[in-house]
Structure 1
């Protein structure tokens, strides 16, 4: 399957050196709250002075770039894009730097899984999505102190029903003479 990449992104990828900056946008939602957490890997512009915040303004997933509370806030984060293994569902890892232990406790304290989506845009054109992954579930939050690693997956193995359906006479009469 081919994907469309903008001309600016293709020129930046093909150039020996480019001033274009790829930005990863992350959006987290949770069924227990109406709050949407939007994160960016680039301090594209200053959003506020007090408190000092940087971030990226984009219309991705319906965000209003004119509202400061709907901007994607800059955090120190490393992202490993979803892998494509045959034996496992696609999974991505997000490593958040410079966070405190309270965030790790909050991430582990919920009973329902948060939903996450990720997109790659250029800093010069944050409304043009170059690549995106949607509808991932937060399946693990590990780490303490300076960094937390979030593991996101599309089909968590922990949601598989157990015990699985049995091939009994009552459920599958065609299998039993």
Structure 2
């Protein structure tokens, strides 16, 4: 499977040293609420003074880069990107540090799983998507003290129903004269 990568990202990867910074953008949506949570791994620019906050402005997934409420907020976040194992669905983990226990309560307060999307961009061009992953589900939120570990995954391909739907006359009348 091939993917396009921007010239700036290729130059940064090929260089012995580069000033380019890769940024992971993460968006959480939930079927029980209209609120969208956007996080960034880089303090690309200062968003406000009171309260002091940093983040990344990008138009990824329809966010308005000019609106402070739609910016991807910087948090101390460690990311383990999805793996490509053949017999298992991709799994990614985030460790959010320096947060209080109220966030753990919010993460554990819903019955349905949140939808998660991730993208990798360069700090110098945050609207140019280098890599992205969609349709993940948050499967766990475990907190201890000052850190929360979020685990996300996809449905395994083996969970597809089998046998698949049959092309019978009743289901696909256009296929049968």
Give the Cα separation in 2 of the matches to 1:19 and 1:66. 25
Give the Cα separation in 2 of the matches to 1:125 and 1:82. 23
Moved over 3 A (4+): none
Tell me the alpha carbon deviations over residues 118-137 of structure 1, each in whole angstroms, 9 at most, x when there is no partner: 00000000000000001100
1:21-170 equivalence runs, <5 A: 21-155=21-155
Show the counterpart of 1:17: 17
State TM-score, norm by structure 1: 0.87
Instruction: Quote the RMSD (CA, aligned, Å).
Output: 1.8
State TM-score, norm by structure 2: 0.87
Give the Cα separation in 1 of the matches to 2:102 and 2:73. 19
Segments of 5+ residues of structure 2 without an aligned counterpart are 163-177
Tell me the alpha carbon deviations over residues 66-122 of structure 1, each in whole angstroms, 9 at most, x when there is no partner: 000000000000111101112221111011011111211221121000000000000
Give the Cα separation in 2 of the matches to 1:74 and 1:107. 18
Corresponding residue pairs, total: 161
Question: Would the aligned equivalents of 1:26 and 1:38 in 2 still touch at CA under 8 Å?
Answer: yes
